[in-house]
Amino acid sequence: MFHELSIRHLQVKRQVSIPIFYRDIKFNEGFKADIVVEEKVILELKSVERVLPVHKKQLLTYMKLTGCKLGFLLNFNESLLKDGITRCVNKLQE
């Protein structure tokens, strides 16, 4: 996935640390996003029997912490990849 996005000349980062802030404390390694594309889209990669609400909440948390408005949850444990794609939108206030 990373390679395919890279050869399309997109700015792609793997295992991106997402810090968490609590009061005056910054935790640098709070979470790690699987792939971030162009600093705008988060791709969370899974290979699970079925996508659970906790998987979607995980992605939404990453999106809120980074300010990204769009994310995709990709479950590779599907016969057809298109059946394993879940699109998530973070409705941030402008």
Q: Which residue ranges make up each domain of the chain?
A: 2-89
Report whether 79 contacts 69 (CB < 8 A).
no
State the Cα–Cα distance between residues 31 and 6, nearest whole angstrom. Answer: 23
- CA separation for the pair 85, 14 (Å, rounded): 19
Q: What is the CATH number assigned to the segment(s) 2-89?
A: 3.90.320.10
Q: Which two tokens stand for residue 44?
A: 């969370």
Q: Which pTM does this prediction carry?
A: 0.85
pLDDT by residue for the chain (94 residues), tens digit each? 899 999 999 999 999 988 888 888 888 877 899 999 999 999 999 999 999 999 999 999 999 888 899 999 999 999 998 999 999 998 855 4
Helices then strands, counting H and E runs in the chain, come out as 2, 5
